[in-house]
Amino acid sequence: MFDRLSRSARNVVFRARDIAQSGGRGLIGPDHILLALMECRPELFEGLSNNPIDLPTLQREVAQMTAATDVSRGAVKLRFNEQSKRVMQVAAQEARSCWERWEAPRRKRGQMLAEDQKYWEAHFRQPIATVKFPQWIMRWMLRRTWEIDERHLFLGLLTGAEYPGVAVLRRRGVTLEGARQRLCATSG
């Protein structure tokens, strides 16, 4: 599943590992992923609720909850606890669902969308002119399918009502359906 993560989602997972390690945890928990998302992608939290979300206050609350549950000491490898594994599974389901509902219908055979071109330019680390590609290369480039990005990690977290950090978000009016609509339907 790790190969399905976008580069920026991997950075979030690595940051979650660092947060867990700094707290002395032996495993990466859902709240570590939430803290990493708040740090790496604060724009995800804008407009999720009718009330503005004060991100620094939210970070402090979640960090205090995480610190209160820290029990193990030792080196942290890139391993998830069972709850985080579930978050990753749900994130993969959300990514596929977002792709099938909002992305796939926009794609026409043989047509490269602007975000596809940006993706491949970032991948090749240089600008590309799609008119110069033979048709078989264009088909190969367009076979790019869904990947798990930060939006999907966040949606995966919101499905877990038992995570303390998610309870903090819910008290601030953040809902799974509202977040899904805002993050998937409006972002490419």
Please report whether residue 140 resides in a domain.
no
Question: Is 60 exceeded by the pLDDT of residue 70?
Answer: no
What is the extent of the structural domain holding 35? 2-98+147-186
Please report whether residue 93 resides in a domain.
yes
Please report whether residue 20 resides in a domain.
yes
Q: How far is CA 112 from CA 20, 104, 133, 139, 174, in A?
A: 40, 12, 11, 9, 34
Please report whether residue 134 resides in a domain.
no
Query: With a threshold of 0.85, does the pTM exceed it?
Result: no
Q: How many domains is the chain partitioned into structurally?
A: 1
Please report whether residue 45 resides in a domain.
yes
Chain position carrying tokens 């219908």: 105
Question: Is 90 exceeded by the pLDDT of residue 72?
Answer: no
Q: Can you tell me the mean pLDDT for 145-173?
A: 85
Question: Is 50 exceeded by the pLDDT of residue 76?
Answer: no
CA distance 86 to 91: 8
pLDDT given for residue 38 in this prediction: 93
Give the tens place of pLDDT for each residue, 107-156: 666 667 777 778 778 777 888 776 666 766 766 666 656 788 899 999 99
Token couple for 176? 């799974």
Give the tens place of pLDDT for each residue, 15-69: 999 998 888 777 888 999 999 999 999 988 888 877 778 888 888 888 888 775 5
Q: Which residue has the higher pLDDT, 174 or 66?
A: 174
Please report whether residue 120 resides in a domain.
no
**Going by C-beta distance under 8 Å and a sequence separation of 6 or more, which residues neighbour residue 169?**
34, 48, 58, 158
Here the CATH number for the domain that contains residue 180 is 1.10.1780.10
pLDDT given for residue 188 in this prediction: 46
Please report whether residue 137 resides in a domain.
no
Please report whether residue 7 resides in a domain.
yes
**Going by C-beta distance under 8 Å and a sequence separation of 6 or more, which residues neighbour residue 130?**
112, 117, 138
pLDDT given for residue 186 in this prediction: 56
